[in-house]
Structure 1
Amino acid sequence: MKSLRSKKKLTQSELAKILGVARTTYAMYEQGQREPDYETLQKIADYFEVTVDYLLGREEKKTPSWSDEDEFDKWVNDPEVYKFYKEFNDSPEERRQALLAVWEILKKQK
């Protein structure tokens, strides 16, 4: 958890506030002196966009959908992908559904 927090450049106090726990409680999580309850564990996983299994050390990958972190970084930082995301996100629901339907058609083509 410490490495995930450090990557986001957060202090223990900042993350504790986000999670709704005391800083000392969060510090104990990092030190292995205390275990978060299920709800807090889920909040941590959601915040860092990892699986609960990853946090528990039961799987090596942070997320099941990206096997190569460099590939993900390249994709997420692509200006065209950002442009598409922005336009999609700002579109009305009806247009979003139409775009998703087109995407499904394109996925079936080889």
Structure 2
Amino acid sequence: MPFNERLKELRKSRHLTQDEFSKQSGIGRSAVSMYESGKRMPSYETLEQIADFFNVSMGSLIERTEHQTAPPTAKDDVDDIFDDHDIRALARKTLTGKSPEEIEKKKKKLKQMLEVMFDE
């Protein structure tokens, strides 16, 4: 199930309107609307916030769908993905100034997300 549908399902299972969910979770009302309409994906931190709010794993929020592209299998494909400048810049921005414990926690969550993304 795509993220936007999963978010809407979780919100409705708690009998919350978008406005109520926004107020209780601290996520902006317009952002919630954009996420549920599939027009935008949340940042890693917001995804973490949503998972914590609903007490679900981040992996369950972003499970692969059958319409997604198969994961790369050739070494060159993997090298191309993880050699991306934007990915490295995002990792640096996210980890800069964090304690060693926070960095390990983020690395563990990233590994879990990658396992979900590349799960066959």
With the length of structure 2 as denominator, give the TM-score of the two structures. 0.45
With the length of structure 1 as denominator, give the TM-score of the two structures. 0.49
Task: Tell which structure's C-alpha radius of gyration is larger.
Answer: 1
